[in-house]
Structure 1
Amino acid sequence: MPPTLQTPWQRTLATLAVVLGTAVLAGLAVGHPWPALALAALALLAAHLLRLRRISHLLEARVRLPPPRSGGGAWANVERLLHRARAEVRGRERRLVEMMRAYRAVATALPDALVVVDRNTQRLIWCNAGAGRLLGLDYPRDKGASLVERLQPLPISHWLSAGRHAEPIVDAASPADPSIRISLRLIPYSDALWLLVARDVGKLMRLEQVRRDFVANVSHELRTPLTVVHGYLDMLDPADNEEWEPIIGEMRRQSQRMTQLVEDLLALSRLEAQDALEDEDVAMGPMLSTLRREAEALSQGRHGIVVEDLAGVDLLGSGRELHSAFSNLVANAVRYTPSGGRIAVRFAPAEGGGATLSVEDSGYGIPESHISRLTERFYRVSSSRTRETGGTGLGLAIVKHVLQLHQARLDITSEVGRGSTFTCSFGADRIVPRGKDPHEHPQDQHASRQHA
């Protein structure tokens, strides 16, 4: 007995051989083998074409293929493979649809507003239910609408154009309800689509205001008892009892430190409560001379101090607040630089017509992991070193708020063991031509470069 043929192609070839062989034998019987062979071949070709046409029709019609029959030849095997592939595709599509429905349900349930925006046209593609409450948007009503027009009066045209460089809008009134305070963040997650996320920050803003009021009120109330403590300490004479001298000295130092902390808290609360400052021309020549004298007084000859005036311009802003910020940076440089170190204060021109004031020291340096948090209130890299130097942990927070009110920024670079550089960068709109200050001291007029 011949061996059993297992594969569909073997079965198909066997069928072809049987049909063609039978046709040849029949042709020989009638004396015309070749016409009989040709007719058999044409019949086989027609059968295969019909089978191919049936499968092609099923694929083009995108209908579910019927379950394939068991056994059969090559065409039956093709149908089985197509049926299995179609079943796998349908399974994947079903799972994808279920995942998309789940993701859309999650996005709809979020309290934050999510808006998918077309990058090129700045038009809405999709938004969740939270966008209706916070932004007044509705899907599908607003599908294809211009986001700039729908979110009036929010000035977001240039903000959307900034794309990946768009800074978050921290606090703004909701276009749907002005009593709701929202924050906006733009997340470009593909080349063609952006995700706009809006969040209700009203509660956070109220809590922040409560915190500011509490700090301001407590700091103000602490002034009176501290004044009383200072008064009584001044009345005590260590000469009356030599054993009291170290105790009284320590009490005076700690009370002075607490007084400085209260004053810094009040200054920070005052800055946080302001949205803008009254601008005036701030003469930088006298400012740099004052910073030099303060650094020398605090250093007591322990450091080399250099002050350079390379910009030759003045600043537009609040002289009091700018002096407070610059003085904090200089004081920090002196405190955190060991004896024999070097401190350089430079006022130099910057690209785009702006200017920078930098304070560079050769002190201990700051680990990179701490740099991003230096401007937080009471944040300290080393609490033991801060206690030794008498810092309050509020100086850089004050600097940050002062610069924000002047539309400026603070950049910090540092390397452990090599020192740090704090740079205040001012835009061209804060630069004014320098004029001669009639109140400037004669020797300060030549203080463009001073070495101690």
Structure 2
Amino acid sequence: MSPSATPPWKLPATLAAGLGGGALLGWLAGGHPAAGIALVAIAEVVLLLTRIRHQDQIMMDASATATSLQHDRFMTRSRRLASNLRDLRNAVSKLPDAVVLLDEQQQIRWFNHAAENLLGLRRPQDRGVSLSQRLAGSELADWLRDGAREPLNDASAPGQANSQINLSLLPLGDHEQLLLAHDVSHLNRLEQTRRDFVSNVSHELRTPLTVIHGYLELLDPEDVPELAPVLGEMRAQSKRMGQIVEDLLTLSRLETQHEVVDERVPMEALLATVRKEAEALSQGRHRIVLESSAGVDLLGSPKDLHSALSNLASNAVRYTPAGGSITIRWQREPAGAVYSVSDTGFGIPASHLARLTERFYRVSSSRSRDTGGTGLGLSIVKHVLNLHQAQLQIQSAPGVGSTFSCHFGMARLLPPGNNDET
């Protein structure tokens, strides 16, 4: 049996037997049992040390093997992670959008090639530099100093003249941030081309439509009774075409306008006009109520505000069945004042609400045509409100009705009066 083969619980018995045998051999050899015991004890100690050394070697070999396996696994994972990071960095470097990695003090840690083109950054001298200081004097620097809580759209690109970018600042981990910049110059040019086309075509259509509508008005259905229905339909459609052209021209003007010439807008007079127009369109088919308790006027464009507020009231008339009710309200709220139009009409499914202000978007195309709508009214309302720093909110439910609310801030409110305040 090998030295390591003796079980631990047998060691005391084996040791006692060995010592007894040593004493007997010592007595037989010369009457010195103590010498025999000493020799056996030494031998047992040597044997025990051998066993301990052998077991330690086994444990060391096992530990070394386990450590080696762990090291190999760690190195494999490290190499795989490093490879993935290299691939990710190479991919980000080739993105057309600018990407800038910032630390918690907004100092530049890394940026891709697009950031060099769009933001004008240079390596290696810009690494470790504050981005707001590097772009001092630009719209982007002011945005960063203000906290960059909201995305910045259509900003001038510091690295490219006559280019516009959309910017976002995103948190990355606990102490870093990621700046993203997307070039929108091409999209803006396409949008401008579309606006120019719509405006030019609308202007060109206005004259022939006016001529056609004029001649149709000259024709008397009584002269040719069999053509009376045809002439009536032609007049209605030519009038509708004329309204579409006028709305397109209005929308084109609003889209290219960045501010309004502020004037006092007497709200009591405007609300009375809106109500009269709604009643004329309704022709007694609806109950129209006006509630005005705000006690303030507005600062803005009288023409544009009349267009927007009247659009909401006329839409309510068009999309509310006969016998329904429409309520026009002008009220104060903690942040300013709100103009709202509520109806008991068909209502709008929630899936359509987000797209209602798009050009020509209709929940029901046939119903919109039957009621004489152009599909541009809410888009005009949205642009007018944007020019007045106001917001449009829509609440609706099918079969219940809708409420369209225009929220104006305190800066747009004026005490009622007749003097011209700006």
Do the aligned partners of residues 385 and 38 (structure 1) sit closer, same or farther apart at CA in structure 2, a change above 3 Å counting?
A: farther
1:328-367 matched pairs, under 5 angstroms: 328-352=311-335, 354-367=336-349
Distance across 2 between alignment mates of 1:13 and 1:129: 68
Say whether the 8 Å CA contact 1:411–1:424 is kept in structure 2. Answer: yes
Letter in 1 for 2:267: M
2:355 counterpart (367, 373, 377):
373
Say whether the 8 Å CA contact 2:132–2:144 is kept in structure 1. Answer: no
Matched, 1:270 2:270: no
1:247 counterpart (191, 213, 230):
230
Do the aligned partners of residues 176 and 267 (structure 1) sit closer, same or farther apart at CA in structure 2, a change above 3 Å counting?
A: same
Matched, 1:133 2:117: yes
2:76 counterpart (91, 100, 109):
91
Do the aligned partners of residues 307 and 35 (structure 1) sit closer, same or farther apart at CA in structure 2, a change above 3 Å counting?
A: farther
Distance across 2 between alignment mates of 1:12 and 1:330: 104
Say whether the 8 Å CA contact 1:409–1:424 is kept in structure 2. Answer: yes
249-258 vs 129-138, which moves further? 129-138
Question: Number of aligned pairs?
Answer: 403
Matched, 1:117 2:102: yes
Distance across 2 between alignment mates of 1:380 and 1:13: 91
Do the aligned partners of residues 159 and 423 (structure 1) sit closer, same or farther apart at CA in structure 2, a change above 3 Å counting?
A: farther
SS in 2 for 1:261: helix
Deviation, structure 1 residue 329:
0.9
428-437 vs 337-346, which moves further? 428-437
Counterpart in the other structure of 1:214: 197
Cα RMSD of the aligned pairs, angstroms, is: 2.9
Identity of aligned residues (%): 50
Give TM-score, length-normalised by structure 1: 0.81
1:33-432 matched pairs, under 5 angstroms: 73-118=58-103, 120-152=104-136, 153-157=138-142, 165-166=149-150, 168-188=151-171, 190-352=173-335, 354-432=336-414
Deviations 1:170-192 (A, max 9, x none): 21111122322211123345454
Do the aligned partners of residues 40 and 209 (structure 1) sit closer, same or farther apart at CA in structure 2, a change above 3 Å counting?
A: same
Deviations 1:163-210 (A, max 9, x none): 6x51x3221111122322211123345454332211111111111111
24-33 vs 192-201, which moves further? 24-33
Distance across 1 between alignment mates of 2:42 and 2:270: 113
Distance across 1 between alignment mates of 2:289 and 2:338: 16
Counterpart in the other structure of 1:59: none
Deviation, structure 1 residue 81:
2.3
Deviations 1:355-383 (A, max 9, x none): 11111111111111111111111111111
Distance across 2 between alignment mates of 1:292 and 1:231: 30
Deviations 1:339-370 (A, max 9, x none): 12121121122223x21111111111111111
Distance across 1 between alignment mates of 2:6 and 2:61: 14
Do the aligned partners of residues 35 and 139 (structure 1) sit closer, same or farther apart at CA in structure 2, a change above 3 Å counting?
A: farther
Say whether the 8 Å CA contact 1:371–1:412 is kept in structure 2. Answer: yes
Distance across 1 between alignment mates of 2:86 and 2:10: 55
Say whether the 8 Å CA contact 2:265–2:302 is kept in structure 1. Answer: yes
Say whether the 8 Å CA contact 2:199–2:252 is kept in structure 1. Answer: yes
Letter in 2 for 1:137: L
312-321 vs 217-226, which moves further? 312-321
Do the aligned partners of residues 40 and 351 (structure 1) sit closer, same or farther apart at CA in structure 2, a change above 3 Å counting?
A: farther
| Structure 1 spans left out of the alignment, 5+ residues | 3-10, 52-72, 439-452
SS in 1 for 2:356: coil
Distance across 2 between alignment mates of 1:174 and 1:293: 50
| Structure 2 spans left out of the alignment, 5+ residues | 23-35
289-298 vs 152-161, which moves further? 152-161
Do the aligned partners of residues 266 and 109 (structure 1) sit closer, same or farther apart at CA in structure 2, a change above 3 Å counting?
A: same
Letter in 1 for 2:181: A
73-82 vs 393-402, which moves further? 73-82
Distance across 1 between alignment mates of 2:42 and 2:416: 110
Deviations 1:102-160 (A, max 9, x none): 11111110111012234x42333322111110012245533332222223311555567
1:413-452 matched pairs, under 5 angstroms: 413-436=395-418
